[in-house]
Amino acid sequence: MQDALKSPEPLRLFPEKLFYKIGEVSRIVGIESYVLRYWETEFPFLTPKKSKSGQRIYTKKDIDLILQIKRLLYDERYTIDGVRRKLGGNINHAPEVFADINKIEKEEMRESSIDAKVIISLVKTRLREILRNNFGA
């Protein structure tokens, strides 16, 4: 993330997380979600992982790359083909660039299990209230 913070792009402060969903990335970089999805089709090196539910999962490295693409397209007025040529050979496809999908899925499962526990607790409480009110139990 340090690269994004050092970039000439004015970057809004955002929470340090393992991954970011497309809406969060959209707000962080100031680009609409549909543009990010389009860029994925145009730039083969922009490949966010997807969760089991199909949600796009962006890493900090992905955000740095998106900021580079944005700067080249909007500030330096490169064409899409020009950005593809400029960045295509310079992108490091090393494994550390990509998020560990197992960590991401575990975090998603942990979040969803917490949500499920809260919901179950609320439902149980509400059922007890209904039983008390209707049956004096």
pLDDT digits (tens, 9 = 90+) for 45-67: 999 998 888 899 998 889 999 99
Instruction: Give 8's DSSP letter.
Output: S
Q: What is the pLDDT of residues 9-47, one digit of tens each?
A: 444 556 778 889 999 999 999 999 999 999 999 999 999
Looking at residue 82, its amino acid is: G
DSSP run (H or E) holding 43: none
Sign of CA dihedral 2, 65, 28, 72: positive
pLDDT tens sequence across 71-121: 999 999 999 999 998 988 665 544 444 445 556 666 666 666 666 677 777
- Is the whole-model pTM more than 0.85? no
Torsions phi, psi for 108 (to 5 deg): -60, -45
Answer whether residue 2 shows pLDDT above 60.
Answer: no
Q: How many CB atoms lie within 10 A of CB 29?
A: 23
